[in-house]
Amino acid sequence: MTGFKNLLYAIDLNDDHVTSVNYALKIARLFQSRIHMLYVNDAQAGYRHPTDREDAVALKVKSVVPDSLLEGQDIVYATAKGSAAKEVVRYAEEQQVDLILIGHKYRGKLYSSLFDSTDIKIIDEARLPVLVIPEE
């Protein structure tokens, strides 16, 4: 089995769903991996998070994840600006990430037929394994 030593989780600071964050940290613990928590401020999406600094990413993660999942974890908090999918892929390449982890929310057929979701764009653009974690 391939060892995944450098993981990337694309986090949404505006999302209250935390299932995928918890799973991402559990996976990082399982593989004893470093995990990069990356937030991309995507101006094309029409919304800019008021704080898009590394400390805002850390604060969000610490506010929604049990302390037991954070203990002993090698976590890198990072931000980028631009197209979410392109920045996630660029960051993964620069940081030599082995596996990208993304959350996915079911939105229904009508929404899906009208809009591309960031997670699908990442899957299409990435040239490395992507693990999709469904949100509850």
Domains within the chain, CATH numbers bracketed: 6-117+124-134 (3.40.50.620)
pLDDT of residue 113: 46
Do residues 24 and 76 make contact, with C-beta atoms less than 8 angstroms apart? no
106: which residues sit within 8 A by CB, 6+ positions away? 134, 135
**Which tens digits make up the pLDDT trace of 72-123?**
999 999 999 888 889 999 999 999 999 999 886 656 655 444 445 677 788 8
Do residues 6 and 96 make contact, with C-beta atoms less than 8 angstroms apart? yes
- What stretches of the chain show up as alpha helix (H) in DSSP? 19-31, 54-64, 67-70, 84-94, 109-114, 118-125
pLDDT of residue 135: 77
Report the percent of the chain where pLDDT is more than 90.
43
Which of the 8 DSSP states describes residue 44? G
